[in-house]
Amino acid sequence: MSTITDASPDTRSFEADVAKLLHLMVHSVYSDKDVFLRELVSNAADACEKLRYEAIAAPALLGDDPQPRITITLDPDARQLTIEDNGIGMTQAEMAEALGTIARSGTKAFMEQIAAKKDGEGGQLIGQFGVGFYSAFMVADKVDVLSRRAGEEGAGLWTSDGLGTYAIGDADPAEAPARGTRVILHLKEDAADYTRRFSVEPKIKAQSGHVPVPIVLKDKPDAEPAQIADGAALWTRSKSEISEEDYTDFYRTNAGQFDTPALTLHYRAEGVHEYNVLAFVPEMRPFDLFDPDRAGRMKLYVRRVFITGEAQILPRYLRFVRGLVDSQDLPLNVSREMIQESPVLAAIQKGVSNRVLSELEKLANSDGDKYLKIWENFGSVLKEGLYEDYARRETLLGLARFKTSTSNNEWRSLKDYAADLKENQTAIYYAVGSDIERLASSPQLEGFRARGIEVLLLTDQIDGFWVTGAPDFEGKPFKSVTQGMSDLGLIPLADGEQPPAETSDEVAGFIDFVKATLGDVVSDVRASERLTDSPVCLVAPEHGMDRQMERLLAGAGQLAQVSKPVLEINPRHALVTRLSAVGAEQADLREDAAHLLFDEARIADGELPLDPRAFSERLGRVLLRGSGPI
């Protein structure tokens, strides 16, 4: 039995979020408890890979035990399951950091997802959120972790019942592994099956049979170990030898996911540089997709030796891709600083990035429905490349899909859009906002709708940025429906509709009056070609920024001053023609109407009236006047 040798071991509390997470996992979240095996075996394999890397510079760390392995020991009599590796091991400080905390952003997202789930629906969350080691408490009422870091004399013991605290202290060196980590699970009564070989072996083979470390199994503590996985790297084998189930199992173990890959990319690059690639596009959004550092999750190996999981192999807008690259050309002793400056890695980055995008193109052309599922999950991330990666912008524009004003909530490509351009249409029109339904009903779209012109409805935060930097698609520039003068007069109205009449002198005079009344609140007031149903709308000046983009930058403190909008008035609207007929003897009504029209345009644009109190008073006066004598 493992014991802490300190007279007074250090007892600590888990972080609050971790304690809640453990409680939820044990009592309500997971329906498939088998996943703990995959998580613990994956951790053990990572430890072996880390040792292989550190041993490149310090071979003495391997001692007289150079071959990595994972040993799983069953003990039916004691109702214990032990998973041991001869990897890098941990110091006590590393154990406290690794086993007593969990990534805050991951915990928060995990807890939010659990709160949104109904009972029994949490079985697929574990891989999505990478809770790893903590999954052991689904089957164990106590977990001991004995560990000795390679090259160190002392060993540490971490122990916890998962109820809120853990103890950590020195371990008896005679009980600890010579190097590596031993995880001992004291199983619950209803988890006794995990001490029986016929139950455990097939689960391990199915979930972790492709980790690059051999796995041996002992069905009793004193039994001879039997190898159940040879540690052959899946990515070095021929595709013809690998089944879809093999790829899925490897993806789940390597990427820490629990879904099925939506796209698998496996190939060997030969020529100037040789490397193997095994990459997956997840079926579900990983929880860390929008982490602030936007780091990728591709692992780098050199001749099957794990080097780092932090190399920027793919651009940040492809960070949802999971997998690995195994290079034959990088030196084994490459440092992590040298990696980023290596011309070999630069060539790998370019080749893998282009291949991933090429595979997405092929999928989009061969199986549109399957591609749309990928786009729905990761389109907002891929569009970051439209802003950041000028060299691949044309490819990314071809991959992009959009909801539009005429698509009935279906996805459309820019090729689809270009095929339906109207006569004399010279631009690709778009509207940027946070809500697609609000965008679709925006007054700025009315003139476009009357002419059957399609408008892209853009609701992702990145949209306001990339459209300003994308010069064109097939020679057609992108233009916001809220920017400058519209050129709709050159485009015929839809069949059966009459062209708008010229603005009458009376209405033109009222527009001039509104302009004079509003003064420097607006940059201009003019008759609108884009309005058909609404009386007014706001647009940006001719060379001004899209209004939504301007508000976004101003809210982030990146604009010292916003431009004054243009108020467009629909000269054919009944309200405008009635107000235009109000005589000079009712100047106060005309003045109130001018300000109310401006505030109405602000409200339609998602803003508050310029002066809410004055708006209320003006509205009250107009309503009182309209109600007749009291």
pLDDT in tens, 192-217: 999 999 999 998 887 788 788 999 99
Lowest mean pLDDT among 7-11, 372-376, 378-382, 396-400: 7-11
Instruction: Please tell me whether 130 is known to bind a ligand.
Output: yes
Lowest mean pLDDT among 330-339, 546-555, 606-615: 330-339
What 3-state DSSP class applies to 453? coil
Instruction: Please tell me whether 474 is known to bind a ligand.
Output: no
pLDDT in tens, 566-581: 999 999 999 999 999 9
Going by C-beta distance under 8 Å and a sequence separation of 6 or more, which residues neighbour residue 407?
454
Going by C-beta distance under 8 Å and a sequence separation of 6 or more, which residues neighbour residue 390?
469
pLDDT of residue 121: 43
pTM: 0.72
Q: pLDDT band at 11, cuts 50/70/90?
A: confident
User: Helix/strand/coil (H, E, C) string of 246-305?
Assistant: HHHHHHHHHHCCCCCCCEEEEEEECCCCCEEEEEEECCCCCCCCCCCCCCCEEEEEECCE
Contact 149, 90 (CB under 8 A): yes
Contact 345, 330 (CB under 8 A): yes
Q: pLDDT band at 368, cuts 50/70/90?
A: very high
- The residues pairing with 266 across neighbouring beta strands, listed in sequence order, are 278
More confident: 63 or 307: 63
What 3-state DSSP class applies to 516? helix
**235-371 shares its CATH topology with 505-626:** no
Instruction: Please tell me whether 306 is known to bind a ligand.
Output: no
Q: pLDDT band at 560, cuts 50/70/90?
A: low
Cα–Cα distance measured from residue 310 to residue 385, given in angstroms and rounded to the nearest whole number? 20
Instruction: Please tell me whether 132 is known to bind a ligand.
Output: yes
pLDDT of residue 271: 87
User: Helix/strand/coil (H, E, C) string of 31-48?
Assistant: CCCCHHHHHHHHHHHHHH
pLDDT in tens, 46-67: 899 899 989 988 999 999 999 9
Contact 473, 428 (CB under 8 A): yes
In the chain, where the domains are located: 10-232, 235-371, 401-490, 505-626
Mean pLDDT score across all residues of the chain: 85
pLDDT of residue 594: 94
pLDDT of residue 288: 77
Q: pLDDT band at 549, cuts 50/70/90?
A: confident
What topology is assigned to 401-490 in CATH?
A: Rossmann fold (3.40.50)
What topology is assigned to 10-232 in CATH?
A: Heat Shock Protein 90 (3.30.565)
Cα–Cα distance measured from residue 315 to residue 352, given in angstroms and rounded to the nearest whole number? 10
Quickly count: other Cβ atoms within 10 Å of residue 463's Cβ. 25
Q: How far is CA 226 from CA 49, 217, 453, 534, in A?
A: 22, 5, 69, 78
- The CA-to-CA distance between both ends of the chain, in Å, stands at 93
What is the percent of the chain where pLDDT is above 90? 53
pLDDT of residue 337: 55
Contact 183, 82 (CB under 8 A): yes
pLDDT of residue 103: 43
Taking residues 604-628, report their average pLDDT. 88
Lowest mean pLDDT among 151-160, 259-268, 514-523, 617-626: 617-626
CATH 2.60.120.620 fits 235-371, yes or no: no
Instruction: Please tell me whether 395 is known to bind a ligand.
Output: no
CATH 1.20.120.790 fits 505-626, yes or no: yes
pLDDT of residue 193: 95
Instruction: Please tell me whether 181 is known to bind a ligand.
Output: yes
Instruction: Please tell me whether 298 is known to bind a ligand.
Output: no
Taking residues 582-609, report their average pLDDT. 91
Instruction: Please tell me whether 128 is known to bind a ligand.
Output: yes
pLDDT at position 265 over 50: yes
pLDDT at position 457 over 90: yes
Cα–Cα distance measured from residue 375 to residue 398, given in angstroms and rounded to the nearest whole number? 12
Instruction: Please tell me whether 39 is known to bind a ligand.
Output: yes
Cα–Cα distance measured from residue 395 to residue 134, given in angstroms and rounded to the nearest whole number? 42
pLDDT at position 361 over 90: yes
Taking residues 438-450, report their average pLDDT. 89
Instruction: Please tell me whether 129 is known to bind a ligand.
Output: yes
Say which DSSP state 148 is in. E
Instruction: Please tell me whether 85 is known to bind a ligand.
Output: yes
